Amino acid sequence: MVTTPTALLLHGAFTDASVWLRVTARLRHHAVPVTAPANPLGGLAADAAYISCVASRIAGPVVLVGHAYGGTVISAAGTAPNVVGLVSIAAYALAEGESVRDLERRFPSPTVAGRLGETAHPLGTGHHPFAELARAEAAPAAAWRTRPSWMLLAGADPASSPEAVRFCARRAEATLLEIGDAAHAVPLSHPADVAELIRDAVRATT
């Protein structure tokens, strides 16, 4: 019987699973099963449905882990019956019917507003058509309401509002790790911290 949850790692927009390489190596060193599927980038509802299906086909429990846009997707995809936890990395956890744009309006950040188009937004480059679509699309579900959650706030991330991330963490009653000097690509810059947060989730749900 499989008892240790598999960590399913989902990348954000306009990147690929290679963003997880350093994290994956650390998790495997500690005998945590890992899979990192491609994010199809078909839109929030479609991507969530796909990842929910991928998770449901894994034998045993699953902890969903998402970076940036991938974090938004796992929050909607985590209703799969075998999902036992959610880990959001530099990402927002939306409520049902809520969009990233809603959070941006509620928690405006001069840093984010000033850097969109100059740097990587949580959903990709600020002016890319997919980024605009993903920012506007409302979440079809909020798995954090029924699953324990962990979140990582990258304090030097110019692409997301710290206040919005903290709000999401409080609302989800999530365990929040803040890394003050971490930028947006935190799985690459702080892989040990990211891996340890995932291991915390795996241990708590085993």
Contact call for residues 101 and 122 (beta carbons, < 8 A): no
Cα–Cα distance, 152 to 55 (Å, whole number): 22
Spans of all domains in the chain: 4-202
Q: Was domain 4-202 assigned CATH 3.40.190.290?
A: no
**What is the percent of the chain with per-residue pLDDT over 70, rounded to a whole number?**
89
Give pLDDT, residue 133.
80
Chain centre distance of CA 202: 15
Q: What is the pLDDT of residues 60-74, one digit of tens each?
A: 999 999 999 999 999
**Confidence class for position 121, pLDDT limits 50, 70, 90:** very low
Stretch 7-28: mean pLDDT, rounded? 96
Give pLDDT, residue 109.
75
Sequence-distant (≥ 6) Cβ neighbours of residue 192 within 8 angstroms: 26
Stretch 107-133: mean pLDDT, rounded? 54
What pTM, to 2 d.p., does this model score? 0.91
Q: pLDDT higher for 1 or 161?
A: 161
Q: What are the φ/ψ torsions at residue 106 (nearest 5 degrees)? A: -75, -35
Give pLDDT, residue 14.
81
Give pLDDT, residue 2.
63
Give pLDDT, residue 160.
87
Contact call for residues 155 and 189 (beta carbons, < 8 A): no
Q: What are the φ/ψ torsions at residue 100 (nearest 5 degrees)? A: -60, -40
**Radius of gyration in angstroms for the set of CA atoms belonging to the chain, rounded to a whole number:** 15
Q: Which residues of 72-110 are buried (b: 16+ CB within 10 A; e: fewer)?
A: bbbbbbbbbeebbbbbbbbbbbbbeebbbebbbeebebe
Contact call for residues 160 and 179 (beta carbons, < 8 A): no
Give pLDDT, residue 123.
46
Say whether pLDDT at 76 is over 50. Answer: yes
